[in-house]
Amino acid sequence: MYSDKVMDHFQNPRNVGEIEDADGVGTVGNPTCGDLMTIYIKVKDNVIEDVKFKTFGCGAAIATSSMITEMAVGKTIEEALAITRNDVADELEGLPPVKMHCSNLAADALHAAIDNYKEKMGEKKPGDRCKDICSCGK
């Protein structure tokens, strides 16, 4: 069963939408379940000042997307990169084992958005992203 916090973030998601002039955008998906998440970030002075998301997926995917935006806003880039997959699930007071992949997607989407921001700032080469956040071997 889902925690009250998961249900709240599913029924009343925070920070839904997109940032038109985003400094970083990260999209990740899970081909097995069909979930797709896009995270948009706005950064000022190395601090994430705004985060939005668009998610196509189940209630847990929406809840984890909502939670990651709340966790990331106001944090430095380095602090936001330190947010782990388990941190997202913990903040939601747990997820059923079959839904843990949703917290993975949320953290991965945030990290992908940060990597995109770093690429735009010249701090990272395009294509370096995948090997940092997944195990596909690319």
Active site residue ranges: 33, 102
Structural domain boundaries in the chain: 2-118
Confidence at residue 135, expressed as pLDDT on a 0 to 100 scale: 43
Buried-exposed string 74-104: b where 16+ CB fall within 10 A, e elsewhere: ebebeebbebebebbbebbebbeeebbbbbb
Confidence (pTM): 0.86
Measured CA to CA, the distance from residue 70 to residue 75 in angstroms comes to: 10
Q: Among 72, 63, 134, which residue's Cα sits nearest to residue 94? A: 63
| Per-residue pLDDT, 40 | 98
Spell out, as residue ranges, where the chain has pLDDT lower than 50.
Answer: 133-138
In this prediction, residue 13 carries a pLDDT of 96
Q: Which CATH class is domain 2-118?
A: alpha beta
User: Whole-angstrom Cα distance, residue 90 to residue 22?
Assistant: 28
